[in-house]
Amino acid sequence: MAAELTAPHWQASDGKHIDVRDLPPPEPMLQILALLETVETGDIIVHHHREPIYLYPELAERGWNHEVMEDALAEGGEFRLRIWRGSR
Amino acid sequence: MASGATAFLGSASERLLPLSLPFRFFAAAVVFHMAAWVVLALGANDLPDYAGGGGPVLAAIHLLTLGVFTMSAMGASLQLLPVATLQGFAAPRLIAGIWWLFNLGSLILALGMYFFWHRAMAAGGTLAGLAILLYLWLLLGNLRRGGALVAVVAHGWLAVAALLGLLAVGLALIVTQEYGIFADAQRSAVSHMLVAAYGFMGLLAFGFSYVLVPMFALTQVPGQKWALASLGIGAIGLVIGLFGAWFGMDLCAAIGGCVGLLAAMIHLGLMVQALRERMRKRLGPAFILIRLAWGLLPLSLLAGIAWALDLLGARGGVIFSLSLLAWLLTFLLAILQRIVPFLASMHAAIAIKHRPPTVTALTAQMPLNIHMYCHCASLLLLGVGIIWSQTLIIVVAALIGLVGAGAFAWFFLAAVRRYLAAVVSA
Amino acid sequence: MYLDSKIAQLLHDEHQRTVDLMNRLEEAVTGRQTKTAPANDDAATTALLADMNAELQATTGHHFNFEEDNIFPALTAIGDVAIPYILRQEHDLLRNLSEYLLPVVEKARANGFTAESWAEFCELALELVERQISHIQKEEMGLLPTLSGLFEDDRDGELVMLYAEAS
């Protein structure tokens, strides 16, 4: 059963955004997976404070792909990930 | 590979060396390990009654002591000493240069010993000696800074002194072959062996045990006072033993052995206590060899005492030497099989952000198991072959040792391959 | 006292607690135990899962954050860059792994293990044990002994209070 979607999320022109930076484990992964359940088409952009490497196999299992949009962690910035369903 | 992430390695205050530096020493040690067994097999006939002098036995001993022990000690100490002194080595090119010199010197020296070429021995000894002096210079620079682990640093200082001593006597022994410096070359050779094994290698083994065993077992670093007591008593024992060996005073040598035995028992007591208080329950197979080495240490001292008191018969010297080398080789290979994948995984963590390989992923356990069985079998058979003066048994022992050394090389290569594969695919 | 520095002793004590848990976890997921999932009412498993839930959140949150905010910057400032870099990377890895494992633990606490979820749990748990132990080994040898030389007594005491207040 998916978790309730409580993380900040909003619709923008490039897709649905979700910000999990302030969430303690395991909330970031749970919230991202919860958002996936609500999106049929279009991109999801994740704002994270580290690269969620264990999320990638979960995405693949669910038929989602991903690409790293921005990795500014070394400069104290955020990690941004684009997720989309199926192939492009 | 993470760009820029490796840029900080090798700087003055950086305690982690680039992986290629310690690993080239370990790679050379792995090759010399196999070579030592091959040469020993070729000298099997000479081994039981060996009483000094050139030939394959001397060559095999030095392939082991220089090519395996000293080579590994250099590679390990250059990476581990900064842990104790909290200060890195800012000389990667010099370290690489030392490696080249020492390899060349050890090889030429061993060839010279095998073929009784005194000039080659002199040349090889000089090159190896120069490499050792450069290594000592690096070590001294690091030790001078002291550090949190006082006992480890103190062991380092005395090991440096021992290394200087054995270098001087070793070079003089080469010269004495042509110019007869020593009145009794055999006694000088025994002294050289004692300083090399219990002085340099033994003190490094003791000192680094106080870092490595606590790290792998996750236990408290043993009390500095008792570690220093062991060091002090051991140093006194070594001096007394050397005095006895040098001047042919057998009782004095035996007393030195007894004092050394006391130091060894204190050290082992600290190790046993450390393991008893450990946080990590499962220690892994390497600790089988470590415990075996801990048993061989007092055994070697007892053999030395018995030899000094002429209780071991004509082959006493060879039996003592075997026990001594068995202790050091067993301990060294046990430690190497832990620190090789551990260091590789640390460097993988720098180079790879995505799930760097774990130590287990970098460890090929099957070749290590093969090595362990072959290692134990070869030492046992060597002992039997020496006592019964059976060349065939010694040859079989050497061949089994070679298989074990080959398996160890396989483990090392697998660690390197797996590390590189992980880095490339990241 | 094991270490001269109070904050080093405190972090060491926390490591001890974590290692104890890792030892228990390793015992539970190796050998014959991996073949069948434990019963839902197995007391040892229930206790282990509860402890895992608490410990993983405490370690990956408070303990890691404290080290990253207070200890690593001090080491980096004196030029020791590689060790904090590696440790920070490992923190993130362990956080990721915990994030993945915690829902599995919570689900198991609520509904017990199926054969499939037990197999997944064993695999993740072994990776967690190895990475956590390896991480603690590095900190015990490469980090904690440096702290007595790194911080003055006053600052050492401050850090202890900071750690206690944030927990």
Q: Which residues of C touch B355 (CB under 8 A)?
A: 93
pLDDT of residue B417: 96
- Measured from the Cβ of residue C81, the count of other Cβ atoms closer than 10 Å reads 21
Residue B151 has φ and ψ, to the nearest 5°, of -65, -40
Nearest CA in chain A to C106: A26
Residue B203 has φ and ψ, to the nearest 5°, of -70, -40
Residue C31 has pLDDT above 70, yes or no: yes
Residue B183 DSSP code: S
Mean pLDDT across B196-202: 94
pLDDT of residue B5: 41
CB of C99 within 8 A of CB of A28? Answer: yes
Residue A8 belongs to some domain of the structure: no
What's the pLDDT tens digit per position in B210-248?
988 988 998 888 888 999 999 999 999 999 999 999 999
Helix B316-351 with B20-42: angle, nearest 10 deg: 150
Residue A72 in contact with partner chain B when CB distance is under 8 A: no
Q: Which residues of A touch B353 (CB under 8 A)?
A: 51, 53
Nearest by CB to residue B211, choosing from C27, C90, C141, is C141
pLDDT of residue B2: 36
Residue B123 has pLDDT above 70, yes or no: yes
pLDDT of residue C148: 77
d(CA B196, CA B171): 13
Mean pLDDT across B277-299: 94
CATH at A60: 3.30.110.40
d(CA C82, CA C85): 5
Second CATH level (architecture) for the domain B9-339 = Up-down Bundle (1.20)
Mean pLDDT across B304-323: 94
Residue A67 DSSP code: E
Higher confidence at residue A61 or residue B263?
A: B263
CB of B90 within 8 A of CB of B10? Answer: yes
Residue closest to B75 by CA, chosen among B151, B148, B139, B11? B139
Split at pLDDT 50, 70, 90, the class of B9 is: low
Q: Which residues of B touch C27 (CB under 8 A)?
A: 281
Split at pLDDT 50, 70, 90, the class of C109 is: very high
Nearest by CB to residue C102, choosing from A25, A51, A53, is A25
When computed from its CA atoms, the radius of gyration of chain B, rounded to whole angstroms, is 21
Range(s) of the domain holding residue A50:
14-85
CB of A35 within 8 A of CB of A9? Answer: yes
d(CA C115, CA C113): 7
- DSSP string spanning C49-99? HHHHHHHHHHIIIIIHHHIIIIIHHHHHHTT--HHHHHHHHHHHHHHHHHH
Nearest by CB to residue B220, choosing from C2, C79, C148, is C2
Q: Which residues of C touch A28 (CB under 8 A)?
A: 99
Residue B353 in contact with partner chain A when CB distance is under 8 A: yes
CATH number of C6-166: 1.20.120.520
d(CA B151, CA B147): 10
Split at pLDDT 50, 70, 90, the class of B147 is: low
d(CA C17, CA C19): 6
d(CA B186, CA B167): 16
Q: How far is A13 from chain B (nearest CA, A)?
A: 30
Q: Which two tokens stand for residue B4?
A: 């820029």
Higher confidence at residue B7 or residue B148?
A: B148
d(CA B265, CA B253): 18
Lowest mean pLDDT among B20-24, B36-40, B394-398, C56-60: C56-60
Cα–Cα distances in angstroms (integers) from residue B108 to residues B117, B131, C166, in the given order:
10, 13, 63
Note whether A51 contacts C96, CB cutoff 8 Å: yes
Residue closest to C6 by CA, chosen among C141, C125, C153, C133? C153
Higher confidence at residue C124 or residue B144?
A: C124
- DSSP string spanning B210-233? HHHHHHHHT-PPPPHHHHHHHHHH
pLDDT of residue A88: 67
What's the pLDDT tens digit per position in A62-73?
889 999 998 887
What's the pLDDT tens digit per position in B44-94?
999 999 988 899 999 999 999 999 999 999 998 888 777 666 677 768 889
Note whether C142 contacts B15, CB cutoff 8 Å: yes
Please list, in sequence order, all residues whose beta carbon lies within 8 angstroms of the beta carbon of residue B100, skipping any fewer than 6 positions away: none
Lowest mean pLDDT among A69-83, B167-181, B270-284, B357-371: B167-181
Mean pLDDT across C28-52: 87
pLDDT of residue B152: 86
pLDDT of residue B1: 32
Residue B119 in contact with partner chain A when CB distance is under 8 A: no
Percent of chain B with pLDDT over 90: 69
The CA-based diameter of chain B, rounded to the nearest angstrom, is 64
Residue A18 has pLDDT above 90, yes or no: yes
How many Cα atoms within 13 Å fall on the side-chain side of residue B389? Answer: 8
d(CA B336, CA B205): 12
Q: Which two tokens stand for residue C108?
A: 């198991």
Mean pLDDT is highest, among B15-29, B409-423, C23-37, C59-73, for B409-423
Note whether A28 contacts C93, CB cutoff 8 Å: no
d(CA B401, CA B373): 9
Probe site for chain C from A21, A22, A27, A29 (most C CB atoms < 10 A): A29
- Measured from the Cβ of residue B39, the count of other Cβ atoms closer than 10 Å reads 23
Q: How far is C1 from chain A (nearest CA, A)?
A: 33
Q: Which residues of C touch A24 (CB under 8 A)?
A: 57, 61
Count of domains forming chain A: 1
Buried b (16+ CB within 10 A) or exposed e, B320-358: bbbbbbbbbbbbbbbbbbbbbbbbbbbbbbbbbbebbbb
| Per-chain mean pLDDT for chain B | 90
Q: Which residue has the tokens 């303990």?
A: C63
> What ipTM was reported for this prediction?
0.84
- Collapsing DSSP states into helix, strand and coil, what is residue B309? coil
- DSSP string spanning B317-337? HHHHHHHHHHHHHHHHHHHHH
Mean pLDDT across B139-166: 84
Residue B45 DSSP code: G
Q: How far is A34 from chain B (nearest CA, A)?
A: 24
Residue closest to C22 by CA, chosen among C92, C126, C104, C101? C126
pLDDT of residue B346: 83
Residue A62 DSSP code: T
Lowest mean pLDDT among A66-70, B31-35, B62-66, B331-335: A66-70
Q: Which two tokens stand for residue A33?
A: 């997976």
Residue closest to B34 by CA, chosen among B316, B333, B287? B333
Note whether C103 contacts A26, CB cutoff 8 Å: yes
Domain ranges of chain C: 6-166
Percent of chain C with pLDDT over 70: 97
Task: Give the strand order in the sheet containing A64-71.
Answer: A9-12, A15-19, A44-48, A79-85, A64-71
Residue C44 has pLDDT above 80, yes or no: yes
Residue B13 has pLDDT above 80, yes or no: no
Residue B150 has pLDDT above 90, yes or no: no
Q: Which residues of A touch B355 (CB under 8 A)?
A: 53
Residue B102 has pLDDT above 90, yes or no: yes
Residue C114 has pLDDT above 50, yes or no: yes
pLDDT of residue B3: 37
Residue B4 has pLDDT above 80, yes or no: no
Residue A44 belongs to some domain of the structure: yes
